[in-house]
C-alpha cells in the first residue's frame, strides 16, 4: 500500500478515467492540471474524437507529446493506471429499472488488465449495493487480487452542479467510502489531491445512499413547489410572491422554484434507483415515485395552457420553444421538459421551433417533434412570425425585453417577467 500511497503523493501515479462525459472529462482535466499523467478511456469512438477535437486546451501538443495525456478506447491501458475512476452512465431501462450494463461492461473490459496496487473508484450514481455487486464481487474472483490488502475499491459519487459557473466543483465536499479502512485511506489520499474536503463514510452502501438522498430531496421539493404553483394559479395567487415571503422565515424552510418540470440525467432518473432496491427489499416507497409523476406532468399542464390560448386559430399555430437545455447555462437536453413539450405540441400538429444559445442542433430521436431541428435566429422577423413562445429554459444570453416586445404571446414557465405584461402568461 505504501507504494501506491507515495506514488499518489509524489504525483507519479497514473490516473485512468473510464467514461469521458459530463463527469469524467472535468475530473480528468483536474488531475491533469495537478500534474498527474492521465489516461481517458471511452468506448465511444465518436466521443473520443470529439474530446480530442473540442478540447484543444486539454489535448494540446504539450500534454500529448510529453505523454501526460492519452485519450483512447484501448482498455489494455488500464494496466498502466494506478487509480481507475469509473464515470459511466447509469440510466433507466424502459420499465424504469436501473440500467447497469455500462458499469458491467466497464468492469468486464478492465478485468483482464487489473493488477496489484491499484485503486478503483466508482463515481456513477446508483443504488446501495451496486459497488459490491458489480465491482467487488467480480474482482474477488481474481485470486491474485485481495481487496483491502493489495487492491483497493472505493465509491465516491460525483456532486457537480452543471451550469453554475460561480461554484468551483473542487470546493464541494467529496463523499467517499471504501471496502475497508485501507481502501478508504488510499481513496482519501487520491481525492485529496484535487478536492478541498473529503467526507469519509462508514460504508460504501451509505455513500451510495447519500447521493440518492440528495437527488431525491431535489426531486421531491421541485415536485412540491410545482404542485403548489398549480394550486396558486387556481386561487389566482402569485406563487413567486408567496415563496419569497415564506423564504423570510429564518429556519425550517428552504425555497425551491417552480418550473416546467425537471430534466437531465440525474433528478428524473436517480430516485427510481432507490425505489427499485427498496421494492426488492419489500417496501414500495410511494412518495419518491409520486414526485417523479408530478414533475413529469408539468409539460402537459403547460401545454394545456398553450392549447387554451391558441384554440382560436383556424390555421396551424407556430410555436417557439425558448431554451431546450434542461436548465440554464448548459448544453445538455437529455430528459429536458422542452422535449416533452415539443412532443405534445407536435402531436396536436403545431409547428414547433426552438432557440437555444447553447444548443445549435438537436441530434437525438426527439428531433422528429420539431419542424426544424436547428436553433433559429432571434431576428425581429422570426420572433413576429410565431403565434406563441414558451420559455422553458431561462438562459442568461437571451434578451428577454426584446423577446417580449416582438412576441405575440409568451408562456413564461421560469418567472422571467416578474411584473404583469399584457402578452405574458405565467405558467
Ligand atoms: N451529468 C451530471 O451532472 C452528473 C452529476 C452527478 C452525477 N452524475 C452521474 O455520473 C455518471 C456519469 O454521468 P455523465 O453525465 O458524465 O454521463 P455521460 O453520458 O455524459 O458520459 C458517460 C461517458 O461514458 C462512456 N461510456 C459508457 N459506457 C462505457 C464503458 N463501458 N466504457 C467506457 N466508456 C463508457 C460514454 O461513451 C460517455 O462518453 C452517471 O451515473 C450520472 O448519474 C452525473
How far, in Å, CA of 414 to CA of 403, rounded?
14
pLDDT, position 58: 75
- The best mutation among 17, 23, 162 to test binding of ligand 1, ranked by most ligand atoms within 8 Å of the C-beta, falls on 23
Q: How many CB atoms lie within 10 A of CB 34?
A: 13
For domain 2-202, the CATH class is alpha beta
Q: Is 48 in the pocket of ligand 1 (CB under 6 A)?
A: no
Residues contacting 245, CB < 8 A, separation 6+: none
Q: CA-CA distance, 118 to 240, in Å (whole number)?
A: 52
- Asked whether 222 lines ligand 1 (CB < 6 A), one says no
**DSSP annotation of 216:** H
Question: Of ligand 1's atoms, which has the minimum distance to the CA of residue 332?
Answer: 1
pLDDT given at position 311: 84
pTM for this prediction: 0.93
CA distance 233 to 302: 12
Distance (Å) from CA 384 to ligand 1 centroid: 40
Pairing of strands 151-155, 174-178: antiparallel
Is residue 73 lining ligand 1, measured as CB closer than 6 Å? no
Count of C-beta atoms within a 10 Å radius of residue 379: 10
CA-nearest of 411, 417, 370 to 387 is: 411
> In this predicted model, what pLDDT tens digit does every residue of 203-228 receive, in sequence order?
999 999 999 999 999 999 999 999 99
Bridge partners of 154, per DSSP, are 121, 178
Give pLDDT, residue 13: 98
391 lines ligand 1 (CB under 6 A): no
Residue nearest to atom 1 of ligand 1 (CA): 22
Cell output for 402: 426584446
Residue pair 215/225 in contact by the 8 Å Cβ criterion: no
pLDDT of residue 315: 84
Pocket test residue of 265, 330, 336 for ligand 1, highest count of atoms within 8 A of CB: 265
* Residues of the chain under the 70 pLDDT cut: 1, 61-66, 164-166
Grid cell at residue 293: 409523476
Domain with CATH 3.40.50.720 in the chain: 2-202, 303-426
In this structure, which residue's CA is closest to atom 31 in ligand 1? 106
Ligand 1 mean position, distance from CA 25 (Å):
9
Q: How many Å lie between the centroid of ligand 1 and the Cα of residue 181?
A: 28
- The residue whose CA is least distant from atom 20 of ligand 1 is 21
Ligand 1 atom, smallest distance to 44 CA: 37
**Residue 273 burial (10 A CB sphere; 0-12, 13-18, 19+):** buried
Catalytic residues: 266
335 lines ligand 1 (CB under 6 A): no
Taking the C-alpha atoms of residue 144 and residue 359, their distance in angstroms, rounded to an integer, is 48
How many whole angstroms separate alpha carbon 326 and alpha carbon 316? Answer: 27
Give the pLDDT of residue 62: 63
Alpha carbon distance 110, 386 (integer Å): 52
Q: Does domain 303-426 have CATH number 3.30.420.10?
A: no
Contact 89, 265 (CB under 8 A): yes
Q: Calculate the dihedral angle through the C-alpha atoms of 209, 293, 328, 398, rounding to the nearest 10 degrees.
A: 180
Q: What single DSSP character describes residue 374? A: B
Residue 1 is predicted with a pLDDT of 54
Residue owning grid cell 422570426: 382
Q: Is the CB of 84 under 6 A from ligand 1?
A: no
At 82, list the grid cell: 494506478
Rounded Cα–Cα distance for residues 280 and 294 (Å): 24
Amino acid at each position: 500500500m505504501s507504494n501506491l500511497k507515495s506514488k499518489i503523493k509524489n504525483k507519479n501515479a497514473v490516473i485512468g478515467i473510464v467514461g469521458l462525459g459530463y463527469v469524467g472529462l472535468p475530473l480528468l482535466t483536474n488531475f491533469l492540471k495537478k500534474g498527474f499523467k492521465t489516461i481517458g478511456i471511452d468506448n465511444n469512438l465518436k466521443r473520443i474524437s470529439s474530446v480530442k477535437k473540442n478540447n484543444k486546451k486539454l489535448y494540446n501538443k504539450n500534454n500529448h507529446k510529453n505523454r501526460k495525456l492519452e485519450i483512447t478506447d484501448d482498455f489494455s491501458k488500464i494496466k498502466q493506471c494506478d487509480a481507475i475512476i469509473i464515470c459511466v452512465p447509469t440510466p433507466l431501462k424502459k420499465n424504469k429499472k436501473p440500467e447497469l450494463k455500462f458499469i458491467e461492461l466497464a468492469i468486464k473490459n478492465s478485468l483482464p488488465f487489473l493488477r496489484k496496487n491499484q485503486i478503483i473508484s466508482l463515481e456513477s450514481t446508483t443504488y446501495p449495493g451496486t459497488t459490491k455487486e458489480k465491482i467487488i464481487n467480480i474482482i474477488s474472483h481474481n485470486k491474485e487480487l485481495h481487496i483491502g490488502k493489495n487492491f483497493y475499491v472505493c465509491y465516491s459519487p460525483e456532486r457537480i452542479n452543471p451550469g453554475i459557473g460561480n461554484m468551483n466543483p473542487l470546493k464541494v465536499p467529496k463523499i467517499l467510502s471504501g471496502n475497508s479502512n485501507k481502501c478508504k485511506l488510499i481513496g482519501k489520499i487520491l481525492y485529496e489531491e484535487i478536492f478541498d474536503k473529503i467526507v469519509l463514510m462508514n460504508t460504501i452502501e451509505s455513500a451510495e445512499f447519500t447521493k440518492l438522498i440528495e437527488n431525491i430531496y431535489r426531486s421531491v421539493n421541485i415536485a412540491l413547489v410545482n404542485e403548489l404553483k398549480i394550486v396558486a394559479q387556481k386561487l389566482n395567487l402569485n406563487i413567486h410572491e408567496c415563496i419569497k415571503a415564506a423564504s423570510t422565515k429564518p429556519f425550517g424552510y428552504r425555497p425551491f422554484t417552480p418550473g416546467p418540470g425537471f430534466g437531465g440525467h440525474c433528478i428524473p432518473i436517480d430516485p427510481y434507483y432507490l425505489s427499485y432496491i427498496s421494492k426488492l427489499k419489500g417496501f414500495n416507497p410511494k412518495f419518491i415515485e409520486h414526485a417523479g409523476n408530478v414533475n413529469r406532468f408539468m409539460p402537459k399542464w403547460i401545454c394545456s395552457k398553450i392549447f387554451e390560448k391558441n384554440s382560436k386559430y383556424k390555421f396551424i399555430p407556430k410555436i417557439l420553444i425558448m431554451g431546450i437545455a434542461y436548465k440554464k447555462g448548459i448544453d445538455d437536453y437529455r430528459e429536458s421538459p422542452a422535449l416533452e413539450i415539443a412532443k405534445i405540441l407536435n402531436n396536436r400538429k403545431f409547428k414547433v421551433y426552438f432557440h437555444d444559445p447553447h444548443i445549435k442542433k438537436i441530434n437525438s430521436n426527439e428531433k422528429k417533434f420539431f419542424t426544424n431541428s436547428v436553433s433559429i435566429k432571434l431576428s425581429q422577423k422570426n420572433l413576429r412570425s410565431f403565434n406563441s413562445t414558451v420559455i422553458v429554459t431561462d438562459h442568461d444570453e437571451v434578451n428577454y425585453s426584446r423577446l417580449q416586445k416582438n412576441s405575440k404571446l409568451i408562456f413564461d414557465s421560469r418567472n422571467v417577467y416578474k411584473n404583469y405584461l399584457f402578452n405574458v402568461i405565467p405558467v
